[in-house]
Structure 1
Amino acid sequence: MNLIAHLVEQLDWHWQHQLRPRLAGLTDDEYFWQPVPNCWTVHPDGDVDFVHPPPTPEPVTTIAWRMAHVIVGVLAVRAHSHFGGPPASYESWDHATTADDALRQLEDAYAHWTAGVRALTTADLDTPVGPAEGPWADRPMLDLILHVNREVIHHGAEIALLRDLYAHTTTKEN
């Protein structure tokens, strides 16, 4: 069994058949839409709302915020740390201020991450991920890949739901 192919297939199936099609036609209005007051978002100047630890309850986040999280924290930082992708951190990232830019960033980050996973060997899956992953440092690469898959699928579903809510609450039927 080719375990790496299965790991890539899990995320790639979701990307090709669910997430990426659901992002087609994303507008700037949807990208920045706040379904409730005081959402965390990416601002027009590229600043991103965030504090650690987050307040309780945690704020609702916009599509822009959720995409920034997936682009930077889930994919790009890890593609850089483990596969030599472009440098990435929340602090230095040029956060997308349009839906089109966010989609391009998402596609780039996804491509870097999946290319890196495809290049792994089965033996690499047992290798600890190292200090770049903080509390995950001693965990095997297999665990990190499964975590990234879960994060992309989970946040992708949230983004799809926000698009549905936007479509059903901000437009009127003729």
Structure 2
Amino acid sequence: MDACDFDWNRTLREQWEFHWNHQIKSRLDGLTDDEYFWSPVPKPWSVRPRGQSTAPMHVGAGEFTIDYAFPEPVPPPFTTIAWRLGHVIVGVLAARNASHFGTPAASYETWEYARTGSEALEQLEAQLDVWLTGVRNLGESELREPVGAKEPYPELSMADLVLHIHRELIHHLSEVALLRDLYLHTRSVAFPANS
């Protein structure tokens, strides 16, 4: 294959799409509300009904808020599937979709967090669709352009950002799959997310 004919866009997308289609999507199917909020340890960070958080900070625009603190405690608290999906949906995808692909502004403070596991998966798939459509439409010159002030490392290229987002998705959604395994095998010793 001639290097000039190499499809960088397809290669970047394939990093995530293969993982999603063959390893992650089926592992998320059937996520229950109990799994969504479950924790194997006391006092996790989670997504909770407004007014029920004991975290130093909790934000969100709807009936539910997400726990956090700034600066993050050391060691950081354990996080539930609800928290991890909230992070991926908002901080990894929706904020980038707004910055780079023209969707409405999104932040942890303004997001309406999912109240159920199925609602969270719907939000995830909607944000993934926007992300992949946006990436698919980037030409090689656009992939080489610096991301600019919209990102913490403005000098890096859009291709670098795509790789970073895909690594984040693989990392965090693999954690969700592991938590589902733990739930299946250890829920008799679990702590509710509100303990």
TM over 0.5: yes
Note if 1:81 corresponds to 2:99. yes
Q: Aligned partner of 2:42: which letter?
A: P
Other-structure match for 1:97 = 115
Higher relative contact order (CA 8 A, sep 6+): 2
1:86 shift after superposition: 3.2
- Residue pairs, 1:81-160, within 5 angstroms: 81-133=99-151, 135-160=152-177
Instruction: Give the aligned CA root-mean-square deviation in angstroms.
Output: 1.0
The runs of 5 or more residues in structure 1 that have no matched partner are none
The runs of 5 or more residues in structure 2 that have no matched partner are 1-5, 51-63, 189-195
| Offset from partner CA, 1:33-61 (integer Å, 9 cap, x none) | 01101100000331110111110110010
**Structure with higher helix content:** 1
Other-structure match for 2:192 = none
| Offset from partner CA, 1:89-126 (integer Å, 9 cap, x none) | 11100011111110100000000001000000000111
Aligned equivalents of 2:49, 2:34: Cα separation in 1? 12
Segments of 4+ moved more than 6 angstroms: none
Look up the SS of the partner of 1:4 in the other structure.
Answer: helix
Other-structure match for 1:25 = 30
2:40–2:187 CA contact under 8 A, matched in 1: no
Aligned equivalents of 1:86, 1:97: Cα separation in 2? 21
Other-structure match for 2:185 = 168
Aligned equivalents of 1:47, 1:102: Cα separation in 2? 13
Aligned residues: 170
**Which protein is bigger by CA-based radius of gyration?**
2
Aligned equivalents of 2:83, 2:94: Cα separation in 1? 15
Look up the SS of the partner of 1:170 in the other structure.
Answer: helix
Aligned equivalents of 2:176, 2:108: Cα separation in 1? 20
**Structure with higher strand content:** 2
1:15 shift after superposition: 1.1
Q: Which of 39, 44, 49 is the matching residue for 1:44?
A: 49
Please report the TM-score for the alignment, with normalisation by the length of structure 2: 0.85
1:64 shift after superposition: 0.3
Other-structure match for 2:193 = none
Look up the SS of the partner of 1:48 in the other structure.
Answer: strand
Aligned equivalents of 1:42, 1:137: Cα separation in 2? 31
1:85 shift after superposition: 2.1
Q: Which of 6, 11, 14 is the matching residue for 2:16?
A: 11
